[in-house]
Structure 1
Amino acid sequence: MRNLNDYYFFVQVVEHGGFAQAARHTGTPKSTLAKRVAALEAELGVRLIQRTSRRFTVTELGQDFYRHASAMLIEADAAEDVVKGRLAEPSGTVRITASVPTAQTVLARVLAQVALEYPKVFVSVHVSDRFVDMVQEGFDIAVRDHFAPLPDSGLVQRRVASEPVVLVASPAYLAAHGVPLQPQDLAQHAGLVSAAGGGPWLLEDEAGAKAEATPQARMHANESSVLVQAAQAGLGITCLPLRMVGEALEAGRLQRVLPQWRAGTVTTTLLMPHRRGQLPSVRLVADAIARG
């Protein structure tokens, strides 16, 4: 395998017109320079420099080799400068994958602010609910909302948020159909559920007591905003992560049902392929998402 340091030593010797001059410039002993150039010549099987006690001459082939070796070192310096520039100031493309509701409720505002503050950072967001192979598809960050712990995938997992799944309905619905006082009362109410035949809602109160509730399914949808709109229209009771209904709760379009109970907890986790060597742009975006 080539020792590219020998290319560097050879270029220094040629540029400074001899081993003694190159030794003074580089701080490398003259004997070391001579040994490394000799090793390079032996590896290549050619004479690059004709040297005697009185004369130093670069051969014709050595001059050609010098031009290419010198260009290689210039390109190596340029490559290093690119990395140093990226490390000094966040820049470049950061590819993110997230589900539709996560993109809407977690990423939209945060990423817009990052783009405003760091104009050299280009964020590319891929929104999909399908399984994504981060490494194979070249994503830097995945943002996942999940109810159960994520499996050990070899990816770096960074938990950034955890919030309750709450029951909500419109004031008009509750005025018309009554306010449930305990979980079993939900059996007499219309339910807006996230999947057909999804089973009962599993509830837990602040003291850790558990209960099951099975409302009468009025609608099912696997997209959260549909359920929010249906609840606001007065079609029934739904359960969703708090952040997805927070604005409607604050505006009074929805209100909590059985506020002392929750239908589980949703956790938001950032997944990244590598623990080390991340570019500042990736760390910057990950930190911004974590802060929310």
Structure 2
Amino acid sequence: MYNLNDLIFFVQAVDLGSFAAAGRRLGQPKSTVSKRVAELEAALGARLIHRTSRSFVLTDTGRDFYDHARAAVIEAEAAETVVRERMAEPSGTVRITASVPTAQFHLADQLHALARRFPKLEIHLHVTDRFVDLVQEGFDIAVRSHFAPLPDSDLMQRQIGTDRIVLIASPFYLEERGTPSTPEALSEHDGLIIASSARTWRLTSQDEISVAVAPRPRFFADESVVLLKSAIAGLGIACLPESIAAPAITEGALNIVLPSWTAGNIATTILTPHRRSQLPSIRAVIDFLAENRASK
């Protein structure tokens, strides 16, 4: 078996047209390059180069071998580059945009850990419920929560999680008003509603039975934290992503109502321009957010 390093000497000699030029490129004497190519030929049992004092010409076998040898060298260099990029500490500025709920409930507990993990990164988070054009406005990453699939675009998409939309209420409210045992019973309960145009909740059971229900509107707010705190205060039943309510549920401040029914799902997806997605700094942030979201 020949030494794979000999491919580099051979390819450089062919690319540059002489052993001397290859030696200068590789920082080796001309004699070393010539010797290594000769050893390669001996290992293969074939003449690759016709050489005289005035000429340097590939044989037919040498031309065929060169095509494959050059491809092998390119792949080896690419493999080394991948490892070096992975090992390099990410650095530079990463600009992220997210909606208010996504920032509050998904990023607030992660970005400080990200900054500690990669101290050479400078994280800029822009929080807005306005649609942001990543390319036009110069952002590297968008973290978006959405009910329907995102439209096809030139952006790279990586879904990092899915939340159930559940009904929640405080133990105090349920003790006082009773716990509904069917979706239809919600019509006798107070609802904490996200908007006056969304008075009806469409629920789906584990058996994929769908039903529309309309609680009595008690309170309207188009902000998740307000609805969450209103539910904790015992004002009524709210309909929110499970991850938002999870800490209060764990603490016993909220209960899930009708746990076998949901009001759908909401997905969280990372988007980034393709050209930037391969930068070590951007890739590090995406991988970190995906790993931490998956662990919850």
What is the TM-score of this pair, normalised by structure 1?
Answer: 0.70
Cα deviation for residue 163 of structure 1 reads: 1.6
Cα deviation for residue 263 of structure 1 reads: 0.7
Distance 1:22 1:258, change over 3 A: closer
Partner of 1:248: 248
Distance 2:271 2:152 in 1: 11
Partner of 2:137: 137
- Residues 178-197 of structure 1, C-alpha deviations (whole Å, 9 max, x = no match): 11110111111110011112
Distance 1:180 1:87, change over 3 A: same
What is the TM-score of this pair, normalised by structure 2?
Answer: 0.69
Distance 1:247 1:130 in 2: 27
Where do 1:213-252 residues align within 5 Å?
213-252=213-252
Distance 1:167 1:23, change over 3 A: closer
Cα deviation for residue 170 of structure 1 reads: 0.6
Unaligned 5+ runs, structure 2: 1-19, 27-83
Distance 1:22 1:175 in 2: 87
Distance 2:154 2:255 in 1: 41
Partner of 2:206: 206
Partner of 2:188: 188
- SS across alignment from 1:109: coil
Distance 1:206 1:23 in 2: 69
Q: Report percent identity of matched pairs.
A: 51
Distance 1:127 1:115 in 2: 18
Distance 1:86 1:92 in 2: 15
Cα deviation for residue 105 of structure 1 reads: 1.3
Cα deviation for residue 89 of structure 1 reads: 2.2
- Residues 21-63 of structure 1, C-alpha deviations (whole Å, 9 max, x = no match): 9998458xxxxxxxxxxxxxxxxxxxxxxxxxxxxxxxxxxxx
- SS across alignment from 2:150: coil
Partner of 2:258: 258
Contact 2:156 2:277 in 1 (8 A): no
Unaligned 5+ runs, structure 1: 1-20, 28-83
Partner of 2:118: 118
Partner of 1:165: 165
Contact 2:188 2:215 in 1 (8 A): yes
Distance 2:136 2:265 in 1: 31
- SS across alignment from 2:219: strand
Distance 1:245 1:25, change over 3 A: same
**Matched residue count:** 216
Distance 1:181 1:272, change over 3 A: same
